[in-house]
Chain A
């Protein structure tokens, strides 16, 4: 064992905290180690000094006053707790009539109303904004996806659409008009007002089982990120 550990034990030896075996081992070490025995002797002297300085007992200034203070504090405490216990639960006013509860309720309703009005304002505002957006876009959202067909497939699709419309026996000018609007991606209100029925059919056909799914390489295209 190093000196530091023995010195730690020496500190504990002073108060008798070591067990008999440890004490015996330390005594044996002290008889053989000059360094530790010097520390031990010095420590004994130091300790006498420490105890001489702080081992004195403090004097209680006024024991009667202190006990009176303690008992009066206990008495006050008892009185306080008795006043709290005084009113039985059955005699107390119901909780919803208590001022604290009523105040809380008022605050909560005000907050609820404020949230309600804010929500209402936000909904009205967003609806209004959407209306404005639709008006400015000049496009029905329903047919927007027709305008979003990627150019890779547009040519193939237009050929198929043209064939299909010809099979249905539509006049050539109507077919040209629809194909033109699909090609340029400009399905506006004017086109809709005149060719709404045709466009609906074409849209159903394109996005249904007959259209896009039959195009070449369409699967690989949509798989791309």
Chain B
């Protein structure tokens, strides 16, 4: 499916969703849940949290379906919702008293139906992302994830984050420098 076809198709699906068509919504979910999960996982470094974010993001899409402009790419909307939910999640996490305890408990929750291989890959990846990018402030981490890991262009990053081009570039440059420093400091040990 070419991007133009996908866009048209997404627009049609959103239009159908706006007519309360749950089947159209199901197609949207099946089409984009992997993208949402991938992005959420790279932000949260945790499978259950990523799934929760993903679920909440789609729930929000359904709840606000009448306000969605079907002309705009659906992925941008999805990235925007997931990133805002993640920022809210980060803030609420800060407010929580027993944050570390809850994190520790979250980390232990494993889907019983998931394949051991999948669990291992995700846990390993989460550990690596944590090691390299956990010290970045949320904004820098978000910009870095969107641009370098999700491969969005600067304009799309601007739309998702609501930052100016200058701000995106500056955050990105600082994030890359920090990650490089972090890599240098741990080379030969973890990586």
Query: Which residues of A approach B to under 8 Å, CB–CB?
Result: 7-8, 11-12, 14-15, 17, 43, 46-47, 49-51, 53-63, 65-67, 69-71, 73-75, 77
> With the chains together, A59 CA to B50 CA distance in Å?
11
Q: Please tell me if the beta carbons of B125 and A56 are within 8 angstroms of each other in the complex.
A: yes
Chain B interface size, under 10 / 10 to 19 / 20 to 34 / 35 or more = 35 or more
Is B104 positioned at the interface, with any CB of A under 8 Å from its CB? no
Is B119 positioned at the interface, with any CB of A under 8 Å from its CB? yes
With contacts A70-B59, A74-B25 taken as known, whether A53 is within 8 angstroms of B128 at the C-beta atoms is yes
Q: Hey, which chain A residues are within 8 Å of B29, CB to CB? A: 67, 70-71
Chain B window 136-161, contacts with chain A (Cβ cutoff 8 Å), 1 for yes, 0 for no: 00000000000111000010000000
> With the chains together, A53 CA to B127 CA distance in Å?
10
> With the chains together, A94 CA to B152 CA distance in Å?
54
Q: Please tell me if the beta carbons of B173 and A12 are within 8 angstroms of each other in the complex.
A: yes
Closest chain A residue, CB of each to CB of B57: A70
Q: Please tell me if the beta carbons of A61 and B26 are within 8 angstroms of each other in the complex.
A: no
Q: Hey, which chain A residues are within 8 Å of B74, CB to CB? A: none
Q: Hey, which chain A residues are within 8 Å of B113, CB to CB? A: 61-62, 65
Q: Please tell me if the beta carbons of A17 and B59 are within 8 angstroms of each other in the complex.
A: no
Q: Please tell me if the beta carbons of B33 and A15 are within 8 angstroms of each other in the complex.
A: no
Q: Is the interface of B mostly helix, strand, loop or mixed?
A: helix
Q: Please tell me if the beta carbons of A61 and B119 are within 8 angstroms of each other in the complex.
A: yes
Closest chain B residue, CB of each to CB of A59: B118
> With the chains together, A58 CA to B25 CA distance in Å?
24
> With the chains together, A69 CA to B154 CA distance in Å?
33
Q: Please tell me if the beta carbons of A69 and B51 are within 8 angstroms of each other in the complex.
A: yes
Q: Hey, which chain A residues are within 8 Å of B149, CB to CB? A: 54-55
Min C-beta distance of A43 to chain B, whole Å: 7
| Partner of A63 from B33, B50, B177 at Cβ < 8 Å | B33
> With the chains together, A67 CA to B54 CA distance in Å?
10
Q: Hey, which chain A residues are within 8 Å of B132, CB to CB? A: 50, 53-54
Q: Which of B7-15, B35-43, B82-90 contacts A (4 or more CB under 8 A)?
A: B35-43
Is B164 positioned at the interface, with any CB of A under 8 Å from its CB? no
| Partner of A70 from B58, B121, B183 at Cβ < 8 Å | B58
With contacts A49-B183, A54-B125, A70-B59 taken as known, whether A61 is within 8 angstroms of B115 at the C-beta atoms is yes
With contacts A12-B173, A43-B180, A61-B47 taken as known, whether A71 is within 8 angstroms of B22 at the C-beta atoms is yes
> With the chains together, A66 CA to B171 CA distance in Å?
33
Closest chain B residue, CB of each to CB of A81: B63
Inter-chain pairs besides A55-B149, A58-B42, A67-B26, 12 sampled, C-beta below 8 Å: A12-B173, A49-B191, A53-B191, A54-B125, A54-B128, A58-B122, A59-B122, A61-B118, A61-B119, A63-B33, A66-B54, A67-B30
> With the chains together, A11 CA to B34 CA distance in Å?
30
Q: Hey, which chain B residues are within 8 Å of A14, CB to CB? A: 176
Min C-beta distance of A46 to chain B, whole Å: 5
| Partner of B172 from A12, A50, A60 at Cβ < 8 Å | A12
Kindly list the 6 A-B residue pairs having the minimum CB-CB distance in the complex, ordered from nearest.
Answer: A61-B114, A58-B41, A11-B173, A11-B176, A70-B58, A59-B118
With contacts A17-B172, A54-B149 taken as known, whether A77 is within 8 angstroms of B26 at the C-beta atoms is no
> With the chains together, A73 CA to B58 CA distance in Å?
9
> With the chains together, A65 CA to B63 CA distance in Å?
21
Chain B window 110-130, contacts with chain A (Cβ cutoff 8 Å), 1 for yes, 0 for no: 010111001101100110110
Q: Please tell me if the beta carbons of B55 and A58 are within 8 angstroms of each other in the complex.
A: no
Q: Please tell me if the beta carbons of A8 and B173 are within 8 angstroms of each other in the complex.
A: yes
Q: Please tell me if the beta carbons of B47 and A54 are within 8 angstroms of each other in the complex.
A: no
Q: Hey, which chain B residues are within 8 Å of A73, CB to CB? A: 55, 58-59
> With the chains together, A54 CA to B133 CA distance in Å?
10
Q: Hey, which chain A residues are within 8 Å of B179, CB to CB? A: 50
| Partner of A15 from B125, B147, B177, B187 at Cβ < 8 Å | B147
